[in-house]
Amino acid sequence: MSKTLDNLMEAFAGESQANRKYTAYAKQAEKEGKTNAAKLFRAAADAETLHALKHFEVAGKISSTAENLKDAVAGETYEYKDMYPDFVKAAEAEGNKAALISFTFAMKAEEVHAKLYQEALDNVDGTEEGFYYLCPVCGNIEKARPDKCSICGVPGDRFIEY
């Protein structure tokens, strides 16, 4: 890999993390009633997303939808089969219950994501519109609004429709 490509991918990772960090900061500012700070954090988060997306594009990391779906299946599968199980074990060993719950919810949701990406790949040329419903607590995604989340139990009426 060239130094520039390495730099593009490092910049992509950094800008992506900044987006999530600033989004979290915005939520905290909103909780505290700090509207102007929340707006600034949200604007900066969106700016960081613009930067990340451009770096990713320039790095040549966006392919056809089918190839992107294959990459997504591989990434989600790695997370739920390899990455999160190790994280869960470490959190259990350290007695960190909050991290254990966070990792377990994510691990279970990533397995669902992998299956949904595989379904989309298997149907990549399909034209029938579908909808997806996101649990705002654990990140689970369903193809129909559930009565409650199968992973964390949050009521289905809190799911976000896509």
pLDDT in tens, 69-86: 999 999 999 999 999 999
93, 143: one domain: no
- Domain boundary pick from 43, 58, 73: 58
The tokens for 12 are 């992509």
Residues 112, 75 within the same domain? yes
Query: What CATH number does residue 9 fall under?
Result: 1.20.1260.10
Question: With the C-alpha atoms ordered 25, 26, 30, 35, is the resulting torsion angle positive or negative?
Answer: positive
* Whether 113 and 71 share a structural domain: yes
Q: Are residues 13 and 47 in the same domain?
A: yes
Question: At 145, which CATH number?
Answer: 2.20.28.10
Domain total for the chain?
A: 3
Q: 14 and 69 share a domain?
A: no
User: What is the pTM for the complete model shown?
Assistant: 0.90
Do 72 and 110 lie in one domain? The reply is yes
Question: What is the pLDDT, as a whole number, of residue 6?
Answer: 97
Indicate the SS3 state at residue 148.
Answer: strand
My answer on whether 122 and 70 are in the same domain is yes
Instruction: Tell me: do 69 and 118 sit in the same domain.
Output: yes
pLDDT at 39: 98
DSSP string computed for 41-102 = HHHHHHHHHHHHHHHHHHTT----HHHHHHHHHHHHHHIIIIIHHHHHHHHHHHT-HHHHHH
Determine the residue type at 82: D
Determine the structural domain holding residue 143 and report its residue range. 129-162
- Strands of the 133-134 sheet, one edge to the other: 141-142, 133-134, 160-161
Question: Which stretches of the chain score pLDDT less than 70?
Answer: none
- Please indicate, yes or no, whether residues 122 and 133 belong to a single structural domain of this protein: no
Residues 9 and 38 reside in one and the same domain:
yes
Cα dihedral sign, 96-102-105-106: negative
Q: How many residues does the chain have?
A: 162
